Amino acid sequence: MKDDTVIGHEALVRGPMETPLEFPDALFQMARNTEKVPELDILCMQKALVSALEFQRGLQLFLNVYPETLDNADLLFRQILRTPSSPRWGSFLNSQAPTGKRI
């Protein structure tokens, strides 16, 4: 890139302010402890997709995705396809996933 042109936004999640779950690591650790990572991950993606509807035309949305969510592809695509969204989005595999898990 030769200039500072914005090409997109990365979706970041935060829990309720001034609570132990405000930061994503604590929020997803709680989800991991209760075996709800895919559900929380999908909810975060849905919120990001709806927010992206306000983006300037042509900007992309980048989403972080946990491997556990990809293991639940049927749930993922059923939920995401029901979410209003802009047509251009990509995903990143989240590096904070437990080690040893094959994707």
Backbone angles phi, psi at 38, to 5 degrees: -60, -40
pLDDT in tens, 43-63: 998 888 888 888 777 788 888
**Are 49 and 83 spatial neighbours (Cβ–Cβ below 8 Å)?**
yes
Indicate whether 2 belongs to any domain: no
Q: Please indicate, yes or no, if residue 99 is contained in any of the structural domains.
A: no
Residue 82 pLDDT:
72
Over residues 73-94, the pLDDT tens digits come to 888 888 877 777 655 555 555 6
Domain with 18, as residue range(s), is 8-93
| pLDDT reported for residue 2 | 74
Each residue's pLDDT tens digit, 19-39: 999 999 999 999 999 999 999
Whole-model pTM: value is: 0.74
Residue 30 lies in a domain: yes
Q: Are strands 60-65 and 8-10 parallel, antiparallel or unpaired?
A: parallel
Domain total in the chain: 1
